Structure 1
Amino acid sequence: MLLFLIFPTVTLALFGPQDSVYNETEAKLLLNLSAAAYSTDPTPCIQRTFPSNENTQVATSFSVKCDFVGNPCAGYVTVSTVLQQITVVFRGTKTNSQLILEGWATTQPSSDFYGLGLVNRYFKTGHDKTWDYVQGVLNNTQYANYDVYVTGHSLGGALAALAAPRIVSSGLRQRNQVKVTTFGEPRVGNLVFSKNYDQLLPYSFRVVHSTDIVPHLPGCVKDLSYVPPEGSDGSMPCDPVSTNGGYHHALEIWYPMNMTTGSPYNVCTGSPHDEDFTCSDAAKVYFNDTTLAIWNHRNYFAVEVPDFGKGGCNPTMTFEGPPTTQGIKGLVSSLFGRK
């Protein structure tokens, strides 16, 4: 839990069996921090997320050029000496050109990620350019053995999903000292990466809102042995043995409808492993409702994530509901009309 935890003088591992269970309250707090990464100053969101007596401070922030166009990969790291806790936060896609470049790089995972499997080339580049900032805080002897949360929305979720396993595989923290929660995360790597990720990170949750389009990208290799039932839309599950194409890591938490208070969600532990075909992967995204799929990507827990963060996570903010325009005009407006 992020709130109201007081630790003894000796640093003990925070995460235990209870942390393998999804905690919606905790996820909402981490969404605040993920939203804050879209702001030039995350302080207002941080102050609204953590009680003042927890003394949560920004240890470092970063914004580095991520590609030849100059788009940034950015984020920040907070430290609480009271909780003996570090939180690493990555920002999502910032500009339209960055979104396009990510798309160019998502045909299939092609870059080796430190022996853990193949991952998306663009995400790997972003990771390498931001890693020193994360590593610098975790290596600080003042914070030795502090437990670590890692989070982010969209591209930020992808960068979180690369930083977290490297934190463990490089020995900066043990596997029971790192917990990950991402929102609208795309497929980051292939099946080999997914399996290694799951071994390294037993406390990890991918929160997905309904038909959010980004978790469907890049596409996985479909299981051609599957026979869609009569009357279905023809969707097929991901091939659980193919090492080509993208493949999600665990554990998906899928909200099939909206994400307002009290909305039901599914804990996706079904088959195929990590790509549960009864969860978001079964929700086929049609071209004429792509605008809704993008709206679902931007809106988590009833807030428009980038705007919410830029507004300091003010709980009085209001946001537009789902779009009513469909087709090409609505898609262009929704995707390229927003920063």
Structure 2
Amino acid sequence: MASSAYSEHPEICVKDNYNQSEFKRRIKVNCDTLKNDNCVAFTAVTHSNKAIIISFRGSEDLEGIMEIIDVIKVPPTAEFGGKAKVNHYFYNAFNALWASGIKDDFLSLKNKNPNYELWITGHSLGGAMASLAAATIATSNLFPLDKIKLVTFGEPRIGDKTYAELHDSLIPYAYRIIHNHDIFPHEPPSWIYGYQHHKSEVWYNNDMAVGDSYVECDEDESKKCSESVVNLNPLDHQSYYNVKVIFANSGCDGWNPYKNKF
């Protein structure tokens, strides 16, 4: 579903992946007026899995470069009632989508499906916004904490130690998937303004082929996972589980081997 957010028609991927599903809508907004950046997210529900889905799209190539420049130049600002500091670009991007309909769609799906789980996902910038969405929903008491499931791919650092600790305390099911030497999870560097990842990291130090091993680090920052490497590669950011993040432009037919069970 994280890759599906890159498609102009993610509803095709939702249908391709789940026999019983309902696509709400895709929302695209300007998330940085100074550079005319666009941010995208969609909402859906899988009745077969009894889960509401919020998926955030990652940045486009040029936007990704500007995103990192912004992160490095500007210190994080206080949010979440002044309890934590997060990067302004990521936070503004998330809030633009949240206020433009993602919040309303989420609440509508929640009210229609009160016993469902909430799945939140995203790749790259989308991973950052997914983390902020989970934190926002949790701190606003909008959903049971034990039913929120956050899984991101190539997520950059979002905020300071206080944000990481707040996130850890509220969302027990949170996993940051990282592919090999992907450079984006190392940005912004931890020595700039005190940025720190929240837990937990799942690191594939390989090609992420079927059956490949991984290391799970159940802490905010660990030298046993991706922080152990120094030769970083932006190409590892563009492919996860041997799938290009833009593969969903043509739909996702045949991608989910478990579809017939759902």
- For normalisation by structure 1, the TM-score amounts to 0.70
1:109, 1:167 → 2: CA distance?
A: 24
Residue type matched to 2:13 in 1?
C
Q: Deviations over 1:189-217 (max 9, x none)?
A: 11100000001100010000010000000
Residue type matched to 1:312 in 2?
G
1:283 aligns to 2:229 (yes or no): yes
Candidates 145, 149, 156, aligned match of 1:179: 149
How far is 1:145 from its partner?
Answer: 4.8
Alpha carbon RMSD of aligned pairs, Å?
1.8
- Preserved CA contact (<8 Å) 1:109 1:188: no
What is the aligned partner in structure 2 of residue 91 from structure 1?
57
Range with greater deviation from structure 2 (245-254 or 115-124):
115-124
Q: What is the 5 A alignment of 1:75-154? A: 75-96=41-62, 98-107=63-72, 109-115=75-81, 116-132=83-99, 133-140=101-108, 141-154=111-124
Identity %: 32
1:301, 1:42 → 2: CA distance?
A: 19
Local SS of the residue matching 2:142: coil
What is the aligned partner in structure 2 of residue 296 from structure 1?
236
Residue type matched to 1:280 in 2?
S
How far is 1:303 from its partner?
Answer: 1.0
Q: What is the 5 A alignment of 1:1-339? A: 33-50=1-18, 52=19, 54=20, 56-67=21-32, 68-96=34-62, 98-107=63-72, 109-115=75-81, 116-132=83-99, 133-140=101-108, 141-221=111-191, 244-269=193-218, 273-285=219-231, 293-306=233-246, 308-314=247-253
Q: Deviations over 1:69-116 (max 9, x none)?
A: 2211101000234544201000001241x1232122212641222234
Pick 1 or 2: higher relative contact order, CA cutoff 8 A, min separation 6: 2
Q: Where in structure 2 are there 5+ consecutive unaligned residues?
A: 256-262
Residue type matched to 1:311 in 2?
S
User: What is the total number of aligned residue pairs between the two structures?
Assistant: 249
Relative to structure 1, is the Cα distance of residues 146 and 213 closer, same or farther in structure 2, using a 3 angstrom cutoff? same
Q: Deviations over 1:17-47 (max 9, x none)?
A: xxxxxxxxxxxxxxxx111111100123222
Local SS of the residue matching 2:22: strand
Q: Deviations over 1:262-294 (max 9, x none)?
A: 11100113xxx3111111001112xxxx5xx11
- Preserved CA contact (<8 Å) 2:16 2:254: no
2:241, 2:107 → 1: CA distance?
A: 34
2:48, 2:120 → 1: CA distance?
A: 18
1:90, 1:249 → 2: CA distance?
A: 18
Residue type matched to 1:110 in 2?
P
Local SS of the residue matching 1:75: strand
2:46, 2:154 → 1: CA distance?
A: 27
Residue type matched to 1:301 in 2?
Y
How far is 1:314 from its partner?
Answer: 4.6
2:135, 2:195 → 1: CA distance?
A: 17
- Preserved CA contact (<8 Å) 1:148 1:179: yes
Q: Where in structure 1 are there 5+ consecutive unaligned residues?
A: 1-32, 223-243, 317-339
Residue type matched to 1:118 in 2?
K
Local SS of the residue matching 1:40: coil
Of Structure 1 and Structure 2, the greater strand share is in 2
